[in-house]
Amino acid sequence: MSQILEKRQLSETVFLMRLDAPLIARERKAGQFIILQLCEDYGERIPLTVADADPEAGSITIIFQAVGKTTQQMALMNVGDEIAALVGPLGSPTHIENFGTVVCIGGGIGIAPLHPIAQAMKAAGNKVIIIMGARNKELIILEDEMRAIADELIICTDDGSYGRKCLVTEPLKELCEQSPKPDLAVAIGPPIMMKFCAETTRPYKVPTQVSLNTIMVDGTGMCGGCRVTVGDETKFVCVDGPEFDGHLVDFDNMMNRLNFFKKQEDHACKIGLHGGSKK
């Protein structure tokens, strides 16, 4: 059981929650995630990145978009309510060191997991350039927090309602063309965005890390549902990842696998919205 200590709505469908989780707050490092569940008998287990943590206060921050059954239910929960099961921190932490110049690219809700990584990269002495992208201004989250970290911040929107009207790959390409080019790119966002970020940096040989959010059940290596093809190997996102070399990930296969239960999930979401909670 974990109590909701704070709840903020960041955009129409994006919410921030601070949860009481002293053990996770103490151990968690940038890049790691948690799995939560709203009902121990019938709830699904969903992975969410830890966007921030406060070991003294014993709390962690998660940011989620209300897109599925569980996240839609969570959007309706309030301060004082309890999350039935919360486990973590899971996954391998991000490898942090002073690489030189690191460009961090966040798309939509992917800006949330990018935040602690950008923070840690900055703390390690890197020059940090942040590119944030979303469909429109309303969907740009954590701008103040990112601005506080970034040596340079570039905002892009698809409709031009804020910042540059372009995809994140455009400024990324410009940075790769500069001399010196970035030493590392870290891209987190929708799979299609990460795929094209990796394609953008590939000709410039800029090492590119991506953080994958695949379907999971246990999150400890037991089910293998999260597996992805990386180079010639099959890797488990939950224990081998969630971060991988973006130039080696088979994104098309990964995107297919994300649709594994689309039919059943569309059904569940409709019931969830109109039929009330099944808790």
Partner 1 sequence: MSYISSEKLAEDAKQAWEELTKRTEPLKPKDRMAIPAQEMPSQDPAIRRTNMKEVALGYTPEQAKLEAERCLQCKTAPCIAGCPVGIDIPGFIQAIADDNNQKAIDILKESSLLPAVCGRVCPQETQCQAPCTVGKVLKSVDKAVSIGRLERYVADWERENGLIETPAIKPETGKKVGIIGTGPAGLTVAADLRREGHHVVLFEAFHKPGGVMIYGIPEFRLPKAIVQKEIDVLTKMGCELKPNFVIGRTRKIQSLLDEDGFDALFIGTGAGLPRFMNIEGENLVGVYSANEYLTRANLMRAYEKDHADTPISDSKKVAVFGGGNVAMDAARTAVRLGAKEVHLIYRRTEVEMPARVEEVGHAKEEGVIFHLLENPKRILSDEQGWVRGIECLRYELGEPDDSGRRRPMAIEGSEFEIDLDTVIVAIGNDSNPLIRQTTPGLETNKWGNIVADENGKTSVERIYAGGDIVLGAATVILAMGEGRKAAAAMNEMLANS
Binding stretches for partner 1 (CB under 8 A): 23-24, 27, 37, 39-45, 69-70, 84-90, 217-218, 220-225, 227-229, 234, 239, 250, 252-253, 256-257, 259-261, 263-265, 268, 278
| Identity at 219, one-letter amino acid code | G
| Identity at 169, one-letter amino acid code | T
| CB nearer partner 1, residue 69 or residue 122 | 69
Quick check: helix, strand or coil at residue 216? coil
| CB nearer partner 1, residue 88 or residue 171 | 88
Token pair listed for 224: 């293998």
For 146, residues 6+ apart whose C-beta sits below 8 A from its C-beta are 106, 111, 115, 118, 130, 132, 153
CB of 180 to partner 1, least distance (A): 35
| CB nearer partner 1, residue 165 or residue 278 | 278
| CB nearer partner 1, residue 115 or residue 257 | 257
- Is 88:46 a contact under the CB 8 Å cutoff? no
- Is 249:229 a contact under the CB 8 Å cutoff? yes
CB of 132 to partner 1, least distance (A): 30
Phi, psi of 253 (to 5 degrees): -65, -40
CB of 99 to partner 1, least distance (A): 24
CB of 60 to partner 1, least distance (A): 12
